[in-house]
Chain A
Amino acid sequence: MSTASSARAADLRAGDRKSSAPASASAKKVGAAASWVDERTGIAKGASFMLKKVFPDHWSFMLGEVAMYSMIICLLTGVFLSLWFIPSAGQIPYEGSYLPLKGITMSEAYSSTLGISFDVRGGLLIRQIHHWAALMFVVSLSVHMFRVFFTGAFRKPREINWVIGTMLSMLALIEGFAGYSLPDDLLSGTGLRAAEGFIRSVPIIGSYVSYMMFGGAFPGEAIIPRLYAVHVLLLPAVLIGLFTAHIILVMVHKHTQYSGPGRTNENVVGFPLMPVYTAKAGGFFFLVFGLLSLISALVTINPIWAYGPYDPSPVTAGSQPDWYMGFADGALRLLPGWLEFEIFGFTLSLNVFLGAVLLIPVMYTITGAYPFLERWITGDNREHHILDRPRNVPTRTALGVAAITAYLVLMFAAGNDIIAIRLQMSINDITRAFQVLFFVAPILTFWVTRRICLSLQRHDRDKVLHGRESGTLVRTPDGQYYEVHEELNDYDRWKLVGFESPAPLALPSGKDANGVASKDAKKELRRAKWSKFFFASRVEPVTPAELAAAHHHGEHEAIETPAGAGAHAIKQASQD
């Protein structure tokens, strides 16, 4: 069966035209239109450059795509919504079809959103797709950011792209906040009320800035139209500009790839844009859009008709912002009241200012600066196009997990009343617990994660040195039992050994050749200390010498001939 059909089953693709073959007759016809464009733009060279671009294939690279597509879907559905939404805080009685609000006085913004939800055919679907896509946008860009962080894709030459990415992330939060505040419903209006309190807490200028932003007293009639301009005009323009720069840089730098056989720091291995990635990436857009549409058909989001119009007097239990602002809300719930005090007769509300105003810029500054910090610590100035496996950079991974832990503690703290009622616990105890966890949990997860990474690395070493457990038991004639270990072939082995584990920077003597204390001595000493922290307890990849030594040891009689195309000379050479 095998030989006969394998001879017959010659590659069906054998007849495929090579990309370098001359164009066919039909292609010549299409070429007429393309030629018209080329004669006016000279685009052929650029097009052929783009079309043969190679993209590496890994599921984790799709996360950024999901973010991009979600943003595009928001833009598209947003255009639709802007045709019916009225960004005005003017008060009118409701005359639409939702009976429980009939005759109630409400803003035109709220009334028009009710109109989209109940009176425009398919309006509710578009509104829900818009909001679910916004949530999906922030989720996927966050997970994408984690992927980039944990694989070290922010290293040279991609630091600029990382910074652009952190800016995109921050602006996405603000865009989302502006967006869900537009309908002027009770829940988002309560959020705006809190926002006014946040701005007030800014020292010296807070009260003025708050008055100016709202065009007078809260709520005023200016904030809704202003948020509309920010949400529809200003931020989308900035977001589109930044994200275009983000993509262009990816094109210029070429995408990173995971370590693997055939993949080096000087190449990109994958599939070309035409036709594979056009189909895959293009198809993925439809998949993301389709999934969002399915969710929007079946799951309600932001039922503003149930919240009621904004009024400063009522409020709902379970008042939270959308999930991506949760960490800031949680910080506010946890910061204690004694942080507000008076100095020289002026009131400084650090309990609000730290959590509501400082937290986001500080968090993003640290995030944006990380590539430069790591570069200073490691002293690594080379270009990196091969991604790290997170386990091979234990300290970076552990730092990332600790940061995410702190973030998650804050985020879950924002849901403390929902947790209390769903799990029947005391909200006071939950709040105290989160206050403690904010400091304790990141330290714990840092330590645990680092240990896990190191242990995974050691497991990888074991696998290389001793082979994969095959599950086959062998009994020798003299009654001994062995589990046969199947040695890794060259390709699998490369995946486990193809990384670097640099040593910490040498502790500088602090003095130059003539014994004079160097100016940067303190800085260099600090740097060496950080480097030691970063590269502590490192596990190095297996070397050929170590593998040969492992084969020497008696118990490795049990290692069988390696599977597949991998019978390596080393084993033969070391047999004595």
Chain B
Amino acid sequence: MNALAARRRHPAAIALLLFLGLALVGATYSLFAPKPAQAAVATADKVADGKALFQANCATCHGISAEGTKSGPTLIGVGAAAVDFQVGTGRMPLSAPNVQAPRIEQVKYSQEQIEAMGAFVASLAPGPAVPDKATVEAEGDVALGGELFRVNCSMCHNFAGSGGALTRGKYAPALYGVEAKHIYEAMITGPQSMPVFDDKNIDAKGKASIISYLKTVETQPNVGGMNLGNMGPVSEGMFI
């Protein structure tokens, strides 16, 4: 009898066998499992796809031709940027009737689907387009961004972007972990309660600076130690 057989009655033997079995089955499955159906189709049909997606998922509240209903505003003229922001951050479709459309991590649609819906909405009337990578990731002046942020943004979003209360249960959300593209799009489209900060208000350089400032603040070390949420003296008072 060899060493392996001698240990066949070891209590761990059964656990090990189970584990090996599961691993084998799992690996085989993932090799041969069918791929999920591709939602993307040829770009020429993007608007049509977007229309189909829109009518299936959004028209209930926003109207068949996005003209708006009692439950949702018109989307004519909001532009592809608004769609990319709202759907891309999980705010839309609205998960439950609420005063606030909160950001949700689990976005329901793939980027291609979002682009399709954006193309459809953009086809209805001219509106802000999705900013290109170069604009969004442009090098900004962090100090200028800080000044712009403090004058235009911190009264709602708080000095560090930790978020702040608005009236009647609405709030300006925290800006941590938000993609630069989405920050840019929020500024140019003015989602929900947020005012519109299009390029005639704060130019592209200003926006890039604000984004650079936010990313710097988010990634810089908390030099004094734990930052207690960056909500100001209330959390410090609670701590002591």
Contacts and interface: CB of A to CB of B under 8 A. Distances in A.
A237 interface: no
Contact of B233 (A118, A322, A429): A322
B171 A420 contact: yes
Interface string B144-159: 0111001100111111
Interface in B178-217: 213, 216-217
B147 to A, nearest CB: 7
A128 B168 CA distance: 36
A324 B240 CA distance: 11
B142 A100 contact: yes
Interface in A278-316: 296-303, 306-308, 311, 313-316
Contacts of A124: 223-224
A331 to B, nearest CB: 16
B160 A306 contact: yes
A78 interface: no
Interface stretch (A132-140, A212-220, A491-499): A132-140
Given A300-B225, A301-B224, A318-B234, A187 B164 contact: no
Q: Which of B146, B163, B230 has the most CB of A within 10 A?
A: B146
Interface in A407-449: 414-418, 420-421, 424-429
Nearest to A411: B237
B150 to A, nearest CB: 4
Interface residues of A, number: 54
Contact of A421 (B150, B160, B163): B163
Nearest to A418: B234
Contacts of A428: 167-168
B227 interface: yes
Contact of A136 (B145, B171, B240): B240
B159 A316 contact: yes
Contact of A187 (B143, B159, B223, B237): B159
A186 B169 contact: no
Contact of B146 (A104, A136, A420): A104
Contact of B224 (A187, A300, A324): A300
Contact of A317 (B100, B164, B223, B240): B164
A165 interface: no
Dominant secondary structure of chain B at its interface with chain A: helix
A320 B234 contact: yes
A100 B228 CA distance: 21
A322 B164 contact: no
B227 A420 contact: no
Contact of A99 (B142, B151, B169, B238): B142
B233 A306 contact: no
Given A128-B224, A186-B150, A306-B160, A139 B232 contact: no
A322 B143 contact: no
A54 to B, nearest CB: 33
B167 A311 contact: no
Contacts of B232: 187, 316, 318-320, 418
Contacts of A298: 225-226
B41 interface: no
B154 A315 contact: yes
Contacts of B150: 186, 308, 311, 314, 316
Contacts of B45: none
B167 to A, nearest CB: 6
Given A135-B236, A299-B228, A316-B154, A424 B169 contact: yes
Given A299-B225, A418-B235, A427-B166, 19 more contacts: A100-B213, A100-B220, A101-B143, A104-B143, A118-B223, A124-B224, A296-B225, A297-B225, A300-B227, A301-B236, A306-B230, A308-B146, A316-B150, A317-B164, A318-B232, A320-B234, A321-B233, A421-B165, A426-B168
9 contacts: A99-B143, A132-B240, A186-B159, A299-B225, A303-B160, A307-B159, A308-B150, A314-B150, A426-B169
